[in-house]
Amino acid sequence: MRQCPPRTRPYRIKPGDTLYRLARRFGTTVPAIISANPFVDPMFLRIGQVICIPMQRIYPPCPEGNYYRVRPGDTLNEIANFFNVSLDDLIEANPGIDPDEIMVDQIICIPLAVPPVTCPKGTRRYIVKRGDTFYSIARRFNLTVEELIESNPNVNPRSLLIGEVICIPVSE
């Protein structure tokens, strides 16, 4: 195997590999791969050839910071449904991805779905912050998770998004 510089790993070229596909698969960029392989002709990759792949992930721009790592079997449509965002918004938030060929471990941006939230009487608005879970929010406000779920029937408690508005029951 070829000796690769720090923060890179060796990779043996397989049939169908291109620098673009490798960049997407490993969460890096084509220029970063070219830079890590100055003696490799990027226009002439050979099957069996060993190149160095940068291991520092490049994350897509994501204003709210809601990143998701693609898991085996995921589709963009399923991810959009899970996070309650439209498929079009998900694709628009990730301009470099091929909607028909997402890769396991690929990092994508989950845009914030901003349906208007009107909290009913007896509740107050709360904006989800990084690290919040239904459990941590319930503890912070001295509630049960069930009370929080009941006050937010349209919110998936397993897919909170930073910046999302939920309703917190308040005692009167």
Q: Tell me the C-alpha distance between 39 and 36, whole Å.
A: 9
Q: Is residue 127 part of a domain?
A: yes
**Residue in the block written with tokens 């195997």:** 1
Where is mean pLDDT largest: 13-17, 30-34, 67-71, 153-157?
13-17
Q: Tell me the C-alpha distance between 136 and 55, whole Å.
A: 33
Same domain, 15 and 43: yes
Give the closest residue to 77 by CA, choosing from 69, 85, 66: 85
Q: Is residue 1 part of a domain?
A: no
Q: Is residue 80 part of a domain?
A: yes
Mean pLDDT of 147-165: 87
Number of domains in the chain: 3
Q: Tell me the C-alpha distance between 146 and 94, whole Å.
A: 34
Q: Tell me the C-alpha distance between 2 and 28, whole Å.
A: 20
Q: Tell me the C-alpha distance between 170 and 159, whole Å.
A: 23
Can you give the pLDDT at residue 114? 61
Same domain, 102 and 127: no
Question: Is residue 45 a contact partner of residue 34, using CB atoms and an 8 Å limit?
Answer: no
Q: For residue 97, give its domain range.
A: 67-109
State the DSSP code for 9: E
Q: Is residue 2 part of a domain?
A: no
Q: Is residue 27 part of a domain?
A: yes
Q: Is residue 60 part of a domain?
A: no
pLDDT at 2 over 70: no
24: CATH: 3.10.350.10
Same domain, 37 and 72: no
Mean pLDDT of 65-73: 86
Same domain, 74 and 102: yes
Q: Is residue 117 part of a domain?
A: no
Give residue 168's identity as a one-letter amino acid code.
Answer: I
Can you give the pLDDT at residue 7? 80
Same domain, 48 and 74: no
Q: Is residue 62 part of a domain?
A: no
Q: Percent of the chain beyond pLDDT 90?
A: 33
State the DSSP code for 53: E
pTM of the model: 0.51
